Amino acid sequence: MIGMLPEGDTEAGAAAEQKGGEGTVSAGGAEISLEEAASQQDTTVEAQCQQIEAAVNQVAAQLPEG
């Protein structure tokens, strides 16, 4: 089944990685700076990044290997 999935969009991935390096994240089609997102949630950028990391790791652990 996994082999039937289309390849990822490497160009879009590279663009997202660059934006992330500049402090911008995207969720649900909306882009926001980490500073603004942290401010809206009354937290720090560092804490916001730790929450994002934990969520990504949680989802990654549920994906099949390979």
Considering the entire predicted model, what is its pTM? 0.66
**pLDDT tens digits along 10-62:** 888 788 889 889 999 887 788 999 999 999 999 999 999 999 899 999 998 99
> CA 32, CA 38: separation in Å to the nearest integer?
10
Q: Return the sign of the alpha-carbon dihedral for residues 37, 39, 45, 48.
A: negative
Per DSSP, helices labelled H in the chain are 10-21, 34-40, 45-62
d(C-alpha 10, C-alpha 42), whole Å: 34
pLDDT bin (cut points 50, 70, 90) of residue 6 is low
